Amino acid sequence: MKRKWLSLIMVAMFVCTAAWAVSAADKQQAPDTITIQATLWPQVTKGPVTLSHKKHAEEYKAACTECHHDIKDGKNVWKEGDAVKKCQECHTEATVQMEKKLPPDQQKLNLKLAFHNNCQECHKKYKKDHADSKAPVTCAGCHPKAGKDDK
């Protein structure tokens, strides 16, 4: 009888360990740095933006949902552990197309405005709250000059 219980406990422990391992493997590991380089534009005028994901999360205490989102019914339903998509997967237009008249719940910012509204506004607020901050708020502060290889 003792062997039966011992076997049952060992099987339960194995199942729990296997479930934990699969769950941990499914979670994405965030890189220390990220380079944002969209491919929607046939030619670029500014170089790609490289930022420290680690610094934004740990030092600046930026919540994941400040950058990552999945909007449903006007609300961000993205949560940590969900898949992270490239911005251009949803923000599919490179420029504003004013002739489109969509209801507010179907409107999406074009890619450039999505980047700039999120990044610049956050940087401006952080700089206002932290006088010694070097958070960039100008084009050259984030974008290196586009080289020949970027065009």
Statement: 30-150 belongs to CATH 3.30.1360.120: no
What DSSP character marks residue 59? I
CB 151 within 8 A of CB 37: no
pLDDT at 150 over 50: no
- How does 17-45 read in b/e, with b if 16+ C-beta sit within 10 Å? eeeeeeeeeeeeeeeeebeeebeeeeebe
pLDDT of residue 109: 82
| Region 36-44 average pLDDT | 87
| Region 53-80 average pLDDT | 92
Q: How would you classify the pairing of strands 33-36 and 49-52?
A: antiparallel
Token pair, residue 80, equals 């940590």
pLDDT at 50 over 60: yes
d(CA 117, CA 120): 6
| Region 119-147 average pLDDT | 89
d(CA 95, CA 118): 16
pLDDT of residue 105: 59
Token pair, residue 141, equals 């502060």
Average pLDDT of the chain to the nearest whole number: 78
Summarised one tens digit per residue, pLDDT across range 27-39 is 568 889 999 998 9
pLDDT at 98 over 70: no
Beta strands in 30-125 (DSSP E): 33-36, 49-52, 71-72, 75-76
* Residue 50 three-state SS: strand
pLDDT at 17 over 50: no
What residues contact residue 13 under an 8 Å CB cut-off, 6+ apart? none
pLDDT at 97 over 70: no
- The residue extents of the domains of the chain are 30-150
1 vs 119: which has the higher pLDDT: 119
What DSSP character marks residue 57? I
Summarised one tens digit per residue, pLDDT across range 117-129 is 889 999 999 999 9
